[in-house]
Amino acid sequence: MPFSNPIGDKCSIEFFGAALEFRGQGEASQVISYIIESTPNKVYLIEEVADTNIKAIKFYDKLGLKEYKRKALPRRFAENNGINHLISLKYVR
């Protein structure tokens, strides 16, 4: 799971996921919490989670990340894939 510091006090957590056999055991929560507690950043971003990924959105909400941006996808794409928006979340210390 790479993470970077693209803009000063902001950290972008990218491509985060847990293997099916480890979901629901708390490891993912520990990793995100560790990143937030162990780095000096003030803002943590997770960009573009599909609005249909309700489990991920609830997981991030439980950790204190809140939606700050919603990007509508082209209608044709939404009709073909069922994803209407990409949601961006952030945690601010």
pTM of the model: 0.80
* Burial class, 66, CB count within 10 angstroms (exposed 0-12 / middle 13-18 / buried 19+): exposed
pLDDT tens digits, residue range 24-67? Answer: 898 899 999 999 999 899 999 999 999 999 999 999 999 999 99
Euclidean distance between CA atoms 93 and 82, whole angstroms: 34
Euclidean distance between CA atoms 19 and 36, whole angstroms: 21
Instruction: Give every CB contact of residue 27 below 8 A, 6+ residues apart in sequence.
Output: 18
